[in-house]
Structure formats: C-alpha cells, structure tokens
C-alpha cells in the first residue's frame, strides 16, 4: 500500500526492525557489559540502553499507527476473519481479572492507547507490555513480539 509517496508496508518494516533489534539485543548487550566492563559506565549504559529504549518506544508508536492505517486501507483484519486465521499476538488483561487473546489490530490499539510502554526481559522471549490508562477496561497487554513480527513480515514492501 502506497499512501502519497510513502509505502506504509516499508515504514512498518523499518519500525519493526528497530523494535526487534532493540528487544533481542538487550540480553547480549547486558551480558557483554557485565563480562567486559567493571564498575558503572554511565554514558555507555545510556548509549546502549536508554537511547535505544527511547528509539524503540518511538518505533512502537509509529509501527502501531502505520499498521492501523494499513489495516484500515487494506482490510487485513477482515481478511483474517474471513479466512478464520486470526493470529494471536499476545494477551490483554481486563479489570475483571479475565484475559483475552490479542489480534494484531488490538495490539496496535493497545500501543496507541497505553499510558506507557514497558519491556519484560525476564525470559528468553522479550515482551512489550502496554500499561493501560485508568479509564480503560483493561489493565495491561502483553505483546508476543514474534507473533506480531510474523504478521508484519507478511506485508510486501
């Protein structure tokens, strides 16, 4: 899909690249810092972790906006429903204590409407965590980055 002079799929891929490189480089960079640098390296940690986290958050927001626009224009979610192949891209936790699977469109909504984005690096598979605003019906959403990337990876750019 081209909107004006911009290829939305290309912009999705660019932002997905930033998000995935950030998420999957965090653990090896932490291990390298621990193994090779003794003491506290304030500016190196800022360069390796803080700057990249800020850029990844911006890329998440841009990714969500571009995907929502692409879905509106190309009706990707409708195609998933028709083919009964709706990819689960994570889980959303509701205020009543229940949880639901997240479609890729719902992931974009959660990213856009979150009060903040956080990262969970406690397992081998990093997760993006969207924290809800108090006015929302949900409390948090956990994004399965691999499943989300698979949806994005099906777009032609």
What are φ and ψ of residue 7, in 5° steps? -90, 110
Local structure of residue 133 (DSSP, 8 states): P
Q: What is the pLDDT of residues 8-58, one digit of tens each?
A: 889 999 999 999 999 999 999 999 999 999 999 999 999 999 999 999 999
Output the pTM of the full model. 0.89
CB atoms inside a 10 Å sphere around CB 109: 17
Domain boundaries, the chain: 2-152
**β-bridge mates for residue 118, sequence order:** 129
Bridge partners of 92? 100, 141
Distance of CA 95 to the CA centre of its chain: 22
Give the tokens for residue 60. 């998440």
């Amino acid at each position: 899909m081209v909107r004006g002079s911009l290829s939305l799929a290309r912009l999705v891929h660019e932002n997905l690249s930033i998000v995935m490189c950030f998420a999957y480089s965090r653990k090896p960079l932490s291990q390298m810092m621990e193994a090779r640098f003794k003491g506290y390296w304030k500016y190196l940690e800022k360069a390796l972790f803080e700057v990249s986290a800020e850029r990844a958050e911006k890329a998440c927001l841009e990714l969500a906006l571009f995907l929502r626009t692409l879905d509106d224009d190309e009706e990707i979610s409708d195609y998933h429903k028709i083919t009964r192949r709706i990819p689960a891209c994570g889980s959303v936790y509701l205020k009543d204590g229940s949880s639901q699977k997240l479609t890729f469109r719902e992931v974009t909504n959660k990213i856009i409407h979150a009060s903040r984005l956080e990262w969970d690096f406690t397992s081998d598979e990093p997760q993006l965590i969207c924290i809800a605003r108090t006015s929302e019906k949900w409390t948090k959403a956990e994004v399965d980055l691999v499943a989300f990337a698979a949806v994005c990876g099906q777009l032609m750019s």
